[in-house]
Structure 1
């Protein structure tokens, strides 16, 4: 690819073109210099003094070298290599602090095919935050950014999304982010947790029913697929849908048509489908436990939600964010040694388990400073219960604190059930209050306490 130096006439011509974009845009020379920007850029990121050299990596990141030399993906470098437009997710410095920005780089050639400039389009990602804030998705690690990049790519389409990841990793929050970033965001996101539902209950929840259609149907009920019309339907734990119901779900996805239980009237709905599971659906298909045709219908665009152990760099940010959500009236902080204790823990229950541990620590501490001993007590509370009650628990792994102390962690399901039971006892069996404290739905609480 031949590169030629820019000239003032060409710069002025392409600079005026930037105003035609509906997002922040800058014109960049082949040596990384910003030579023009549009009004959307000025509104979002402020002015750039162009009377002296201003390179894109200096303005956006504060780097002294291009992004690829600083350990990040560089869209300009990638475009130079491929000769076509490239797209990456970056974290930029803005007047509001650090923010996720979806960057698209477009090469500009002359009639002879010589490279003149790059147009860089910058679209801030509002569904996630790099710092403590109101956004529900927070993170800046490589694994988190890879996931977020897929979210930004698929959000504006109507493609079905399958979220894959361990329990507690935040799949429901990712589903909300996909919905919020879509053209359907003004309409409802309707959630159905499929775990633990019988055939009849699943059909009634999904399609609705008429009064008297079965025992206990005392009134008409609108199904969730009808409530999701124009919006998004989120089926959590899709792997638990009864096999006998999967064919009806497939027909709904293919045609948008459904019939409420007890009705002969066919209705139609239009929704965007997001599914989530912690199970291996491909293996379930091989075992005959999940329909292959349904699997391919829901698995149009898979997104892997990384476990917390793959997001170590996000742990301090997640901790501070969760502590603010746990207590709005009192500000809590972890000591350095307390943070180190958590950094050496494997978190089999992921972010949901981290939230539980921090809830315990807040209850156990007498000040707003959470010490290492308080964290260790919060981590080992299930082991203590085991020793006191002489119940048989399976120790699955060991962690080690920064001081070299070896700590045993108990089986996640048993630990979670014990924690929820403790909360129930502490809050006079108020299930709604306990579900809110634990960060789970009321249906999930009933299922976990069974």
Structure 2
């Protein structure tokens, strides 16, 4: 079903009504106008995508309607209809801004073909606008992680992506929920269509309905032209509602109606427009608890929570830190070769990462600014990574000795958490088993407890 809004303009009632009825049955949202004046009044709302306009009408020509629409800044596409075709008429219509013209009597299949062509053009324009504001990561810009929690997450993404199921992604801030949403879209049947992200917490409450569903010209103070809305921009593609838990209750009701009816009604419009869009939502809040508190609608929660993906915090898959570090060094290293020295890597592995992957990326970006000679050292890391020591200890031991003690603590704690299984501890730390044994021998010689 198409979401195009079509206006049929013709002073002959029989032609106008038959064509409008046929297009309505074909799935288009159709309005009618019996004159040029009536058409301009309807077009002024700014939400008409295509106008099928007769060239000869009593009050003004169809070409004059096109000219006035263009003068008003309207971007409606015009298909002109005439029983008096001539080369000069066609040229004049095109110069005025018409998309094309058709000869009466019209053949239904020809009309549908032309509307399909216009829909393709409008879709490409929408995708180009979306691409200018968002670049969805290419395959080479993704980091594949090997920890069991992330491999399980990857399997869930692969299962749900080819379906049209609504997905709810949950997890702490900075865990990469937006990356997961893009990956679902990339692997879906909608991959060639728009991916439109929306930060629900960043849009003022007074504007969020207009941003999501669009508005007509004059719908409210400051609406000097029509706005399509992000749901219609995402038609046939995916809309990603990030921080969906921040939506105010009145907006939750309207979102629920869109999910149930698969139609959106722009602010100021009396017509609901069908929309074919997959919804992926994300939140770092406990929506079930919010439902119990009465701050999130239970019916909307069930609509969104068809398939839930929980993204683990980085502290629960520390073994992926080295791969993430390599990924960010490639992304932000400006083509140069960079590496971490062992002491710096040990400190990154031991950190709890309350800001998760986003915090790690910020740390690497900062370190790249400070580092020299292609090596990131402890000195290039933020202050919170240097465990404070007593003045006596600082004077008694070198930096390397202090870092080795810190590293020993990390490794011994990993062995303890793995229940004494050194192979499992090595896997979690992202190092080889032989490396683990070698380091344990070093710690024993140095007198560290094991």
Counterpart position of 2:268? 262
Does structure 2 retain, via aligned residues, the 8 Å contact 1:198–1:242? no
Please point out which of 271, 277, 282 is paired with 1:271: 277
Q: In structure 1, how many angstroms separate the alpha carbons of the residues matched to 2:170 and 2:383?
A: 32
User: Once the two structures are superposed, what CA deviation does each residue of 1:390-422 show, in whole Å capped at 9, x if it has no partner?
Assistant: xxxxxxxxxx965339xxxxxxxxxxxxxxxxx
Equivalent residue in structure 1 for 2:297, among 281, 291, 294: 291
Q: Contact 1:341–1:376 at 8 Å: present in 2 too?
A: no
The answer to whether the 8 Å contact 1:197/1:241 transfers is: no
Higher strand share: 1
Aligned to 1:327: 333
Distance 1:268 1:200 in 2: 24
Q: Does the CA-based 8 Å contact 1:169-1:351 persist in structure 2? A: yes
Shift of 1:264: 1.3
1:368 is displaced (CA, Å) by 1.1
1:159 to 134, 142, 165: 165
Unaligned 5+ segments in structure 2 are: 1-135, 389-401, 408-450
For residue 146 of structure 2, what is the aligned residue in structure 1? 140
Name the SS for the 1:199 alignment partner: coil
Distance in 1, matches of 2:302 and 2:216, equals: 32
How far did residue 234 of structure 1 move?
A: 0.6
The runs of 4+ residues in structure 1 deviating greater than 6 Å are none
TM-score (norm 2): 0.55
Residue aligned with 1:138, SS: coil
Q: Which runs of 5+ in 1 are unaligned?
A: 1-126, 384-399, 406-450
The equivalences for 1:334-353 within 5 A come to 334-353=340-359
Q: Any residues of structure 2 matched to 1:399-414 within 5 Å, and which?
A: 403-404=405-406
Show the counterpart of 1:198: 204
| Residues 73-118 of structure 1: CA deviation (Å, up to 9, x unaligned) | xxxxxxxxxxxxxxxxxxxxxxxxxxxxxxxxxxxxxxxxxxxxxx
Q: Deviations over 1:278-329 (max 9, x none)?
A: 0000000000000000000000000011111112111111000011111223
Query: What displacement does 1:136 show?
Result: 1.9
- Conservation of the 8 A alpha-carbon contact between 1:361 and 1:378: no
- Please tell me the root mean square deviation across aligned C-alpha atoms, in Å: 2.6
Match of 1:215 among 213, 217, 221: 221
Relative to structure 1, the CA distance from residue 353 to residue 380 in structure 2 (aligned partners, 3 Å threshold; closer, same or farther) is farther
Q: Distance in 2 between matches of 1:137 and 1:317?
A: 7
- The 3 A distance-change label for structure 1 pair 401 and 161 is farther
Sort the Cα spacing of 1:177 and 1:288 in 2 relative to 1 into closer, same or farther, 3 A: same
Q: Would you say how many aligned residue pairs link Structure 1 and Structure 2?
A: 261
For residues 218 and 385 of structure 2, the distance between their equivalents in structure 1, rounded to whole angstroms, comes to 50
Distance 1:242 1:380, change over 3 A: farther
The structure that is helix-richer by fraction is 2
Greater radius of gyration (CA): 2
> Aligned partners of 1:206 and 1:379: how far apart in 2?
42
Q: Which residue of 2 aligns with 1:60?
A: none
Distance 2:143 2:232 in 1: 28
Q: Which runs of structure 2 are paired with 1:354-369 in the superposition (5 Å)?
A: 354-369=360-375
Summarize the Cα distance change of 1:331–1:180 in structure 2 as closer, same or farther, 3 Å threshold: same
Q: In the aligned structure 2, how far is the partner of 1:370 from the partner of 1:238?
A: 38
- Greater alpha carbon shift after TM alignment, 166-175 vs 210-219: 210-219
State the Cα distance separating 1:137 from its structure 2 match. 4.1
| Aligned twin of 1:372 | 378
Could you list the per-position Cα deviations for residues 244-302 of structure 1 after superposition, in whole angstroms to 9, with x for gaps in the alignment? 11010000011111111111121110111100000000000000000000000000000
Matches within 5 A, 1:167-178: 167-178=173-184
Q: Say if 2:185 is the partner of 1:179.
A: yes
Q: Could you say which residue in structure 2 is the equivalent of 1:49?
A: none
Q: Please tell me whether the aligned partners of residues 329 and 338 of structure 2 are also in contact (alpha carbons under 8 angstroms).
A: yes
SS of structure 2 residue aligned to 1:247: helix
Cα gap change, 1:343/1:208 in structure 2, threshold over 3 Å: closer, same or farther?
same
* Residues 137, 173 of structure 1: 8 Å contact kept: no
Name the CA distance, whole Å, in 1 between partners of 2:141 and 2:281: 22
Contact 1:128 1:137 in 2 (8 A): no
1:303 aligns with 2:305: no
